Structures are given as structure tokens and as C-alpha cells.
Amino acid sequence: MNFLAASGVTVEILQLLEENLRQSVTEDEFIKKSCTPLIQGGKRLRPMLFLLCANSREKILPEKILPLAVALELIHTASLVHDDILDGSKKRRGVETTNSKYGAQIAVLIGDYLFAKAFQLVAEGNYGDEVALILSKLVKNLCRGEIMQDLSLFEIPTLEEYYSRINFKTAIFLSACCRLGGIIGGLNRDEVDGLTVYGNSLGLAFQIVDDVLDFFGDEQLTGKSLGSDLKSGVITLPVIRALKVSDEAENLRGIVTNKNISREDISAAVKIVHGTDAFDYCKFRALAHIDVARISLPQIKNSVKLALEQVADFVVMRNA
């Protein structure tokens, strides 16, 4: 994302973000040992969105925005730790997951620690009640999305149910990052609302592309096998579309609702999905959300607006 520097988000700020992230998990030796691998890698999309929006009127001092940027990444990391426990995942970003390494009990506590550390940083930063309320609602809604998903494993959702789930699990988070940036950056309410809609639409597109990559991505780039969501019982948009248009819909339905799904079953399901227009259909929907994101951007600093438009391009064109 080399467009960031022109927007006021400099290399120095990004370096400080990484250093502050490292420092946030050094409270004792075990926390440092267990949490340092968790914060390495990743796209840093959430704090970057926040930093861009915070600088959308004028440049903000790093000390004013970095604690909140770090908190957002810690909340994201905590949610991934808990997701890996629920999914029984063994690998994350190419390395062993916390639950695989230390067991579910310790992993739950590490995730809880990261949530608590994030809110500690926000309290110490004196960001005020509005910021605390947004973050509290964010964590609550992340939990609602995960509960919604886990209660419907191996069940075929309607399009509306699918959208509700990805809204809670992904879109609300990106939306909150943009909203918080606008608030910290001193934008007026209409401008903040525009950034909020941008973030929500961006999040919907991001998750749809994620779901497309689970069926059509390059396994070397994504770091996971095609159809991985099916193994966990999570049925996403490519399957919803294939069930509507495929001549093999009933066969596919039987596969994806089978709690004892095998690797051979998953390969068969992927092949059926590939034989439909699911890729084009999902990409069309993702691009429609990106269009909404673009037109929702308020009249802010040109360099930041351009950067946010490029983020939108990145989200829909990414291959991992």
C-alpha cells in the first residue's frame, strides 16, 4: 500500500504502529512468547483505515492516534484467536495457531487478554465515551456474528441470512475503523457518516472476496485448501449461488449439509461450484458494494480520498 505516504500516513507512523504493537504484548515472558507471533504479518487493514480517515482533514499527531490504531489491531487479533478455537484451526498465516500450540483453555485466555489490553490502551488514551461505546458495540457485534455462524453450521442460509452474518463478522469492524477515524480527525457528522457507509460497504466486499478465494483462490497464496469453509460447516455465497443455478444442486446440497464431510466430498463440491457462474456472480456483488463505498466518500483531503479509493481497489482485486 505505497499510496499511504502521500495521504499523511507516513512510513514513520507505520513503523511506530508496528513498534507499539510489539510493546503492547510484552507484559511478561509468556504473554510476549505467545502473543508476538499473533501480531506478525497480516494486512493491517483495520488500523490503516483508521489512520487514513483520522488524517482526512489535517495531519494528526501520532501520539493522539496510535493507541487507538493499536487497539483496533489487537481486537482483530483477539477475534482471530477465538475464531481458531471455534474452528479447530491448526494454522493461521502459515504458522501454528494458539489453540494448537497451547490448548483451547490458554488460547481463550490469550484472546481475552488481547481484548482487555485493547480497552486499556483506549482508556489510557482518554478518547472519551463515544469512542468507548463504538468499540464496545464492535466487540459485542463480532460475538453476535460468530454466534450466528456457529448456530447455523452445515445449514444453507438465505441470501439475507448470509449478508447479516458477514455484516456482523466483517463489515461492522471496517465501518467502525472508518467512523472512529472521522471522529478523531474532527470531521462533521455528515462526513463521519459517509466514511461509515464507505467502511461498511468495503467490509461486505472484503468478506465476499474472501469467500470467493475459498473456492477459486491459489492455495499457495491463500495458505489454505480450497473449500476449507465447508469442512467447518460454513456455507458462503459461492455455494448459495451454485445451489440456485447448478444442475447438480441436490448433490451439492447433500454434500455441504453433511456434518461428516470428507476431503473427497469437498473436492466434489468445489468442482460443482466451479461449473457455475458463482465466481462472476460473487465478483459482481463485491464490485457493487465497492461502487457504494466510492460514492459514499465525503469531500475530504484529496490524497486521503485517493488512498481510500485505492484501498477499495485492493480489497476487490486481491488474491490472498
**Mind listing the pLDDT tens digit for each residue in 141-154?**
999 999 999 999 99
- Residue 127 CA to residue 62 CA, distance in Å, equals 14
If pLDDT is split at 50, 70 and 90, which confidence band does 320 have? Answer: confident
If pLDDT is split at 50, 70 and 90, which confidence band does 54 have? Answer: very high
**What is the number of other CB atoms lying within 10 angstroms of the CB of residue 61?**
8
**Mind listing the pLDDT tens digit for each residue in 167-217?**
999 999 999 999 999 999 999 999 999 999 999 999 999 999 999 999 998
If pLDDT is split at 50, 70 and 90, which confidence band does 223 have? Answer: confident
- Residue 216 CA to residue 239 CA, distance in Å, equals 12
**Mind listing the pLDDT tens digit for each residue in 256-292?**
999 999 999 999 999 999 999 999 999 999 999 999 9
Domain hosting residue 106, numbered range? 5-317
**What is the number of other CB atoms lying within 10 angstroms of the CB of residue 264?**
9
Q: What is the pLDDT of residue 8?
A: 64
Cβ 78 vs Cβ 114: under 8 Å = yes
Nearest to 301 by CA among 61, 56, 5, 53: 56
- Split into its structural domains, the chain has a count of 1
Residue type for position 91: K
Q: Average pLDDT of 299-313?
A: 93
**What is the number of other CB atoms lying within 10 angstroms of the CB of residue 29?**
8
Percent residues over pLDDT 90 in the chain: 83
Question: What CATH number did the domain enclosing 204 receive?
Answer: 1.10.600.10
Q: What is the pTM of this model?
A: 0.93
118 CB-contact burial (10 Å; exposed 0-12 / middle 13-18 / buried 19+) = buried
Cβ 91 vs Cβ 105: under 8 Å = no
Q: What is the pLDDT of residue 4?
A: 65
**What is the number of other CB atoms lying within 10 angstroms of the CB of residue 122?**
23
Backbone angles phi, psi at 178, to 5 degrees: -70, -40
